[in-house]
Amino acid sequence: HFFFFTNQQTTPFSKMASILNKDHIKEVLFSEEEIKQKVEELATQISQDYEGKSLVVVGILKGAFLFMSDLVRRLEVQHRVEFMALSSYGNSTTSTGSVRIILDIRKDIADQHVLIVEDIVDTGYTLEFLHDLLGARKPASLATCVFLTKPDRLKVENLKVDYVGFDIPNEWVVGYGLDYAERYRTLPYIGVLKREIYEPQSPHNNEEENNND
């Protein structure tokens, strides 16, 4: 049998995802270019702060996988990568504050410099849990890098976040790792999901259900 291949142009996957889901997006908060620029800024600052040190970068699945991938490729310090997965939503769209570990890191972090990488902080329950959990493992230092924060939704007082990409309004956001019901996660931008897509669910996303499932 003979197979013939044409030179027909194909649409890049990220562009196709944007086309398929554009009717569900109320507005684009941050474009692909704005995201890229912010990641570069964060990577530069982290590289300066950890110059001469070795870093353990802990990404929180699933939501941080795109952000972390872009971030670590721009770091100019020695580092290794670990992953964790957490959940505090269960079958609800509202966090209860009770966090459980689905996937833990596999290597000891004692006396290591550790950086937690999260896509979003909403209530702050997950990040507080991570601080307590990983801090008890005696790292040399423990810092956090979060791409998005929702100041109006924060419920944990004095939550320590060392590196922040953007503060955002209290909207359900998707794209660049953030999802709704496992959809929209691979959009190349960050957009606000139209309310009719998730109603009658709560309008508050997405710290654990969206990103750490």
Catalytic residues: 122
Kind of pairing, strands 78-87 and 141-149?
unpaired
Q: Could you tell me the CA-to-CA distances from 193 to 14, 42, 91 in Å, in that order? A: 17, 26, 20
User: Burial of 59 by CB count in 10 Å (0-12 exposed, 13-18 middle, 19+ buried)?
Assistant: buried
Question: Which is nearest to 24 in space by CA: 213, 207, 189, 209?
Answer: 189
E-assigned strands of the chain? Answer: 25-30, 54-61, 78-87, 100-103, 113-121, 141-149, 163-167, 173-174, 190-193
Give yes or no for a contact between 62 and 85, defined as CB atoms under 8 angstroms apart: yes
